[in-house]
A and B are shown apart, each in its own frame.
Chain A
Amino acid sequence: MKRFDYVRPANIADAIEAGSAPGAAYLGAGTNLIDLMKGDVVRPDRIVDITRLPQLDAIEALPDGDFRVGALVRNADLAYHPDFAAKFPLVAEALLSGASAQLRNAATIGGNLLQRTRCRYFYDPASACNKRESGAGCDAIEGENRTHAILGWSKECTATHPSDLCVALAALDAVVEVEGASGRRDVPLVDLHRLPGDTPDRETDLAPGDLIVAIRLPAQSAGFARHARYLKIRERTSYAFAMVSAGAALEIENGAIRRARIALGAVAAKPWRAVAAEAALEGATPDTAAFERAADIALSDARASGDNAFKIDLARRVIVRALLRAAAGTPNRMPALPGSAFAPTAGELDHV
């Protein structure tokens, strides 16, 4: 690990000033940043420890019904917050399907949003990687790429974004509050991460020094609370990143779908919201045929980027199954294995 200066600013203004300097990086819990620094993948000159900043650790219901979650709230504390989890069970299930209990106890919401890809060539400084070093080439193209992107990728980079939380937030129209040198602004979560194009090293719409201060869930999205499920396919039961995941949320009225929300994880460099598929579900009867049609629409632009054509079929099935689960209803109690495939497809209410 490269040596760095350590600063612990007392307020947001000082943090942004320190974080705007070239070579500076904000430190949340460090569960991604320190890992990357140990591997010499990321080599900051200065660590700006934001964990003591005041007023960034609250979960609040705002007067208009929106929920606001400070960037320093720990992943576990959000997932287990009774009022929040009752209104946004999709977010709770996505969070609890990720990492381990220890990591969720430490990891912050802001850090989860900005965690980096798990592409193994990105993690290995001896490999060529356009994301790590612009113009260096991409060893994944000819390498181990079965976990890589099927949507929105480019020849320059086929990496995926690994966050589970972001999938749920994308589905539920979450907004990210960002503060930078020029003040505060709102960024819709679906616009936070970029597709690679020919600049895979530019991963987000944030400028140097931009600090995530909070996320907001709109009151409207609580309307999905009764029919919202996260499904995550992994190569082992728990403590593994997604191969493909989906968040599905429905509002059902008189036996017909009034509104639908679908987002996919681990298929692209950003959480992938499937807007056209959602539109196709409006007014439809919530059944397998409708869900299969929606899944086809969601994947219509998908292309294999390597040995991963199977992920297209997998994603299709994951969407259908997540929608079936959502239609069956949000369980009253968090399943023993959140987001897991190990549950019956029908009668989802009493699964696991």
Chain B
Amino acid sequence: MPLPLHLKINGASHEIDLDDPRVTLLDLLRERLYLTGTKKGCDRGQCGACTVLVDGRRINSCLALAVSMDGAEVTTIEGVADGDALHPVQQAFIEHDGFQCGFCTPGQIMSAIGLISEARAEGDAERVRELMSGNLCRCGAYAGITAAVLEAEQRITQAEKEKAA
């Protein structure tokens, strides 16, 4: 029996009839919707490469059953730029060399976007490192990643303050 599933992904509505309840959100995105920006590293919750936002919160999509996400709003790396204008976190990763091979980068960026909206790091590098510890980088680009997250956090909070004023 097909399982009907409604998801909003990067702003677009998707009605999906899942033929198999075993499909994870990660496999749904990559294998069925061809949104391959989200990466599969470990497939077991241990690396963070699969990080996406579900209803605005960062989670590991490899351990989430797609069918259980029915009704959710999902944001992936494909949905963060505004046309040709990069998201401030993407821009900061480029400016600070926050990657080498780039495999972990979509997960790092989605995690950083989640971190900034959670507002717990407060400009502290140690807090950024701790709150980004769910994202491993085999290339060891951590120094650049931390600098990028700190800068993006500052830019985003600044922009929000200006908007509010």
Contacts and interface: CB of A to CB of B under 8 A. Distances in A.
Interface of A: 1, 3-6, 8, 27, 29-31, 34-35, 38, 47, 49, 51, 76, 80, 99-103, 105-106, 237-239, 336-338, 352
A94 B129 CA distance: 18
Contact of B63 (A31, A80, A337): A31
B64 A6 contact: no
Interface size class of B (residues with CB under 8 A): 20 to 34
> Which of B43, B44, B111 has the most chain A CB within a 10 Å cutoff?
B44
Contacts of B44: 35, 38
Contact of A80 (B65, B120, B124): B120
19 contacts: A6-B3, A8-B68, A30-B63, A35-B63, A76-B118, A80-B120, A99-B134, A101-B115, A101-B118, A102-B59, A102-B134, A103-B45, A103-B59, A106-B64, A237-B133, A238-B129, A239-B133, A239-B134, A336-B124
Given A38-B44, A101-B115, A31 B21 contact: no
B130 interface: yes
Contact of B65 (A34, A76, A100, A352): A34
Contacts of A338: 130
Interface in B52-78: 57-60, 63-65, 67-68
Given A6-B3, A100-B48, A101-B134, A27 B68 contact: yes
B22 interface: yes
B57 A5 contact: no
Chain B interface SS verdict (over half)? mixed
A3 B20 contact: yes
B127 interface: yes
Nearest to A104: B134
B65 A103 contact: no
Contacts of A76: 118
Contacts of A99: 134
A6 B67 CA distance: 9
B47 to A, nearest CB: 10
Contacts of B114: 101-102, 105
Interface string B119-141: 01000101101111111000000
Given A35-B44, A102-B59, A102-B60, A30 B68 contact: yes
A34 B43 CA distance: 10
A31 B22 contact: no
